[in-house]
Structures are given as structure tokens and as C-alpha cells.
Amino acid sequence: MKKKNVLLALAASAALMLGACGNDDSTSGSSEASDETKVLKMGTSAEFPPFESRNVDGEIVGFDIDLANHIADELGYKLEITDMKFDGLIGALQNDRVDMVIAGMSATEQRKENVDFSTEYNHSGEMFLTPKGSDVKSLEDLEGKVVGVQLGTIQEEGANSIIEDEGINFELKALDDSGALIQEILSGRIDAAYMDKAVAKGYIEAQDLDAFDDPTTASPGMAVAFPKGGDLVEDVNAVLAEMEESGKIDELKEKWEIQE
């Protein structure tokens, strides 16, 4: 009898242990699935201060990063940021490597053929940066000069338009990021750099450069980009509208010293 009781006890204990193990696997699987559905993958190009750049600790910071974190929080997602070259961002959306792009990207008609955009959240305009004391002070002064732009940006498109529409002939030099453009100016390898005004203003003070505004047709504003037909556009637009109404957008612009 004692032997039978012992066997029954062992069997019951084993059943409990198996049940416990089964419960652990179920909880873990459910948690992992939940975590997976809650991740919002964002692409950016951290070479565009004050919108996105790396601080001294290597962290990606800036206006767009704060904006993205607020959007993710409001929609109940955990934000995952992937840093890449600017000219690879559209491809990352098309290949489903990221769910959205926030990278100071202007919502041009050409880009709208390949991706969807949110409502615009910022408009800065463009500016030409030049070395301190340069005699290049207007579009006409760019004739025969070398002008640098960031590869794949609206400024690259705009510079080509200036050559074609304004009839001002200058050599166009496209580089990977804005930091490289500044180095080219300081080393004398280009005569001017054409970039977003908010970004340019930061470099004017930091590098003691001169500048002048682009007087040509204003460019589209910046917006969040999504894969064509994506289901996040309306939700993000709702968050952006709330941020405009509450003053949160203006608060972030003041924090990062962005003036339109």
C-alpha cells in the first residue's frame, strides 16, 4: 500500500511539473508575440542636426527622435531606430525593413510616387553656406563655382533645378552627409553647401561660416514617410494634429532651436 501511495504521489508531482512547464512556454510565447507586435521600426539618417545626429555618447538624438518617441508612446509601441544613409531610406520602406522614416525628409511629389507621407510637421526652407568672407553672396555668384549637396536629398533636386531653371551653371558635388559638406567647405574643396536652413544655422555659429537664403520657390515641408498603402498614416496624423493643438510641436522646436 505504501509503495502504491508513493507511486501515486510521484505521478501527481510529475503531472504538476509538466503543467508548470507548459504554462511557462505559453506565457513566453504570448509575451514574445505581444512584444513583436508592439515594436515600431523607424529608419533615419543621423547626420542631420538638429533633427537627428549622434551625441558624444553615440546616442541618436534630435527633434525627429523626440517626435518619433512621442508618436510611439501615444500609439503604444516600443520604438526601434535604424540608422542608415539618407539615400537608402526610401528603399528600406519599400523592402519592409522599417515601418516609417523620420529623417527631415521633405514630402516631394517625386517621393510620393514611391511612399506615403503624413501631414507636414516642419518647414525650414533652404540656405547656401559659404566660407567666412567669401565673395559668394547670391545665386548669381555661384556661376562657375562648386556647390555641395547631400546625396538623395531635396537639396540635390533643388540645386539641379537652379541650374536648369535659373540658368546658373555650377558644378554639383553630392556627398553622403552634411558633416562631410562642412569639411569640404572648410578645406576649400567646395565654394558653397546647399542645405536645409535649420541645419545650416547650426553650422554657421559652430563653424563661423557665412550664408545666404535660397530665394527660389519654397520646397515642401518635412513629413513622416511610410510604405505605400501602409496602415499607420492616419494614426500618426492624429498624433501630429494633437501635438500641434497642444503646443508639443512648438515645445520641441524651442528645445532644438528650430525656426521656420
pLDDT band of 30, cuts 50, 70, 90: very low
Q: What is the pLDDT of residues 146-158, one digit of tens each?
A: 999 999 898 998 9
CB distance 62 to 47 below 8 Å = no
pLDDT for residue 130 is more than 80: yes
For the chain, what are the domain ranges? 38-123+221-255, 126-213
Q: What is the pLDDT of residues 41-62, one digit of tens each?
A: 999 999 999 999 999 999 999 9
Q: What's the confidence (pLDDT) of residue 27? A: 27
**Average pLDDT over every residue of 237-242:** 98
Task: Show the DSSP H helices in the chain as ranges.
Answer: 2-37, 63-75, 89-94, 109-112, 154-165, 178-186, 197-207, 233-246, 248-255
DSSP state of 139: G
Q: Which residue has the higher pLDDT, 205 or 112?
A: 112
pLDDT band of 19, cuts 50, 70, 90: very low
Closest CA to 142 of 165, 125, 159, 155: 159
pLDDT for residue 74 is more than 70: yes
pLDDT band of 2, cuts 50, 70, 90: very low
> Model pTM?
0.76
Query: Which overall architecture, per CATH, does domain 126-213 show?
Result: 3-Layer(aba) Sandwich (3.40)
Q: What is the pLDDT of residues 78-106, one digit of tens each?
A: 999 999 999 999 999 999 999 999 999 99
Q: Which CATH number fits domain 38-123+221-255: 3.40.50.1860, 3.30.565.10, 3.60.10.10, 3.40.190.10?
A: 3.40.190.10
Can you tell me which residue has the cell 515601418? 99
